[in-house]
A and B are shown apart, each in its own frame.
Chain A
Amino acid sequence: MRITLKDIAAKVGVTKTSVSLALRNSPAISLAMREKIRRVADEMGYAADPILQSLAEYRRTGAIHKAQSVIVWLNHWSQPEQLRRHHEFEQYWRGAKLAAKRLGYRLEEFIWSADYPAKQAEQMLLDRGVLGLLIPPHKPEADWGGFDWSKFSLMRFGMSVRGVDANLVTGDHQRAMVMAVSKIHEYGYRRIGLIYNQAHDRSMGGNHYGGFFWAHKRLGIDQPIPPLESEAKTPELAARTKRDLKSWLKKYQPDAILTAAPEALIFLRELGYRVPQDVAVASTSPYDISVDAGIDQCPNVIGQIAAEMLIKQISLNERGEPADPCRILVESRWLDGKSLPPRH
């Protein structure tokens, strides 16, 4: 049997209207009572009928309540304008915006400046009737303070968003690696090398490293060229990486390189290697690395799926951090390019 507002009202000993107001987070009900009612509702397994809810909303306001059809892209960068300068993140935004529009929602950017208290940001969002938040990547990690996530439907982009255990959407990096190695092999290359950044790969759960080995195993190659770790944070590390690269190239003679590290291209050029004449190169992120062949993670699709999932969560009245957050993986595509032509 469905749990109704009436059941909750009886249990708490208040009127049905109070329950309704409390669940809508109305300031007409004291905060303590709102929390109590929400807790009891959760315990009883109450799930609002999203459709009745919108109908009720429609009847309540007698008109289309504009603010309620808004979802928000939460920008808590210390320099907010930097976020969408990242090509990939801008594509997330665009994909999300389009998908939201198709479903009758509007996506708005909400800039939560670093000096603004969490409670106030939260209240502003509630006052605007925002039901859902998209949380883009934050570099460096954002400080969310005491922001109460339980009031909103949530969706985050990738593992780099820490401190919010929401469902997340990201590229399927392991599968993309397997696809890329297979493609390069199909194009006639036999000595495929990987250049990667260990810390970055680790933050993605080692998907590139693991995928690289499995892809070779699948092709019947048990001993691929050992992946080269690249690090260029300091001039010293960069110089060491360049030395390592030089001896790695000499020792293993790769005919194709898949790189996740942008600096590799510069070093290759400095070491006198021409792309693709001396070595063909593809990258795991052609938007940030200056070669044109490689893995297209389809960031616009990632954005689209994130917005769709968020809106679906809203439709099922799923708020806050779920008990079992899941990861939604979006498939990547191969991008052909001059930097890695098929061999004849």
Chain B
Amino acid sequence: MADMAAKLGVSRIAVSMALRDHHRISVELRKKVRRVSREMGFVPDPFLSALAAHRRQRVPAKDHGVVAWINHWQDSKRLRQFKEFDLYWRGASEAAVKYGYRVDEIRWEPDCSPKRLEKILLARGIEGILIPPHRELIDWGDFDWNKFSVVRFGLSVPSPDSNVVTSDSYRATVMAIGKMHEYGYRRIGLTVNGEFNQRVGGNLLSGFFYAQKLLGLKPALPALLTILNTRTPEELSRQQDILAGWLKRQKPEALLISDIEVPAMLRNLGYRIPQDVAVAGTTVLDIPWVDAGIDQHAEAIGRTAVETLLKQMNVNERGEPRHPSRILVEGRWQDGKSLPPRRQA
């Protein structure tokens, strides 16, 4: 480093910080240092870097620090009322403690600017950020991601373009349809939220198409993509009418659903679960009356997210990676009363 510092005419500390992508060094200098380090063939020694990292980290001895869980929901309490998301939180918190960290919920109030949020986080010495799912789009404005390591939960928050930890919804759909088939159902339908399906890259529908092919389902029922965005009474009643027509035409024996509103619609339409139609959910936590379906293993998602974040922090990976990847946690089938195995005829 001393060699590089001499060559560049800056201090050794500046070189060191630039190599660590430290935000206090200008982006230009960071680029310059990296270029020179390449030219001069500089390779960091993992042990000396580890030692240095440790010396840098010697903040309060008992814990290494805090990572932030950013809550920007309009009604901030709503986020963890979803059992799925609460389990993300718990899985993340427990895993963090194991490594000497703590997860703090940072409620980002609407009247606080992104820049100010950034300052608050930095002032608290926070370098790692977890972004849980959000229903509304988040405007990050001029928030500087290069100062933080980031992991998102799922694809509902489209930016920053960080690594994402989420459930493997494609494989889970194939698995769930397979299970319903194994339980003796033949006319298997899928009604999932159109926007949700779109956001997860069509994973649910792709999985459904493939499962139909794999199992040779005949007839292969067409999927019903629901439109539930505003959840106004008008929208709900329109959806219920569409559902009624679809049920009448397709006569499914079993359904895989994602909308929390659908079970009530089925009731209103006079379908009993499971006597008239058996129902499984793409989650078994948040859909009323539906206890069979995909256990997305939310705690493992939370745990994996924190571990991914800590690993990024360990190697000082900040900002949006050049090749963001998706880290998928496998779901499991959960038996339940809403979809009992059919008696053999």
Binding site for B on A (CB under 8 A): 1-2, 45, 47, 49-52, 54-55, 57-58, 64-65, 68-69, 101, 103-105, 169, 172, 174-175, 178, 202, 205-207, 209-211, 213-215, 217-218, 222, 298, 301, 304-305, 308-309, 311-313, 315-316, 318, 323-331
User: Which of A52, A103, A205, A316 is close to B307, meaning CB atoms less than 8 Å apart?
Assistant: A316
Q: Which of the candidate stretches B8-16, B70-78, B209-217 sits at the interface with the other chain?
A: B209-217
Q: Which of the candidate stretches B40-48, B134-142, B226-234, B261-269 sits at the interface with the other chain?
A: B40-48
Chain B positions within 8 Å of A309 at CB level: 311
Output the least CB separation between A325 and chain B (Å). 7
Chain B positions within 8 Å of A316 at CB level: 99, 307, 310-311, 314
Contact B54 A329 (CB under 8 A): no
Residues from 82 to 112 in B contacting A, C-beta threshold 8 Å = 98-100
Contact A50 B50 (CB under 8 A): yes
Contact B326 A104 (CB under 8 A): no
Chain A positions within 8 Å of B57 at CB level: 51
**B324 interface contact, C-beta 8 A:** yes
Contact B330 A312 (CB under 8 A): no
User: Which of B46, B300, B312 is close to A54, meaning CB atoms less than 8 Å apart?
Assistant: B46
Would you call the interface of chain B mostly helix, strand, loop, or mixed?
Answer: helix
Distance A330 CA – B327 CA, assembled complex (angstroms):
9
Contact B174 A206 (CB under 8 A): yes
Would you call the interface of chain A mostly helix, strand, loop, or mixed?
Answer: helix
Contact A104 B44 (CB under 8 A): yes
Distance A139 CA – B312 CA, assembled complex (angstroms):
33
Output the least CB separation between B196 and chain A (Å). 14
Distance A312 CA – B304 CA, assembled complex (angstroms):
13
Chain B positions within 8 Å of A64 at CB level: 45, 47-48
* B289-312 near A? 1/0 per residue, CB < 8 Å: 000000001001001100100111
In order of increasing CB-CB distance, the 9 nearest A-B pairs are: A312-B311, A210-B206, A206-B210, A210-B210, A54-B50, A104-B46, A214-B202, A213-B209, A51-B54
User: Which of A51, A175, A330 is close to B323, meaning CB atoms less than 8 Å apart?
Assistant: A330
Contact A315 B206 (CB under 8 A): no
10 A–B contacts from the bound complex (CB under 8 Å): A2-B100, A64-B45, A69-B46, A104-B44, A205-B171, A210-B205, A214-B205, A215-B202, A329-B325, A329-B328
Chain A positions within 8 Å of B165 at CB level: 326
Output the least CB separation between A57 and chain B (Å). 7
Contact B98 A45 (CB under 8 A): yes
Contact A55 B54 (CB under 8 A): yes
Contact B170 A205 (CB under 8 A): yes
Chain B positions within 8 Å of A54 at CB level: 46-47, 50-51, 54
User: Which of A175, A178, A308, A328 is close to B327, meaning CB atoms less than 8 Å apart?
Assistant: A328
Contact B206 A326 (CB under 8 A): no
Known contacts being A206-B210, A211-B202, is A329 close to B326, with CB within 8 Å?
A: yes
Contact B49 A104 (CB under 8 A): yes
**B203 interface contact, C-beta 8 A:** yes
Contact B202 A218 (CB under 8 A): yes
Chain B positions within 8 Å of A330 at CB level: 323, 325
Distance A304 CA – B50 CA, assembled complex (angstroms):
21
Distance A304 CA – B321 CA, assembled complex (angstroms):
12
Contact B307 A174 (CB under 8 A): no
Output the least CB separation between A214 and chain B (Å). 4
The chain B residue sitting closest to A2, CB to CB, is B100
Known: A54-B54, A324-B304, A331-B325. 6 other contacts (CB 8 A): A210-B209, A214-B206, A312-B315, A323-B300, A327-B330, A328-B328
Known contacts being A58-B51, A104-B43, A316-B99, is A211 close to B324, with CB within 8 Å?
A: no
Contact A104 B45 (CB under 8 A): yes
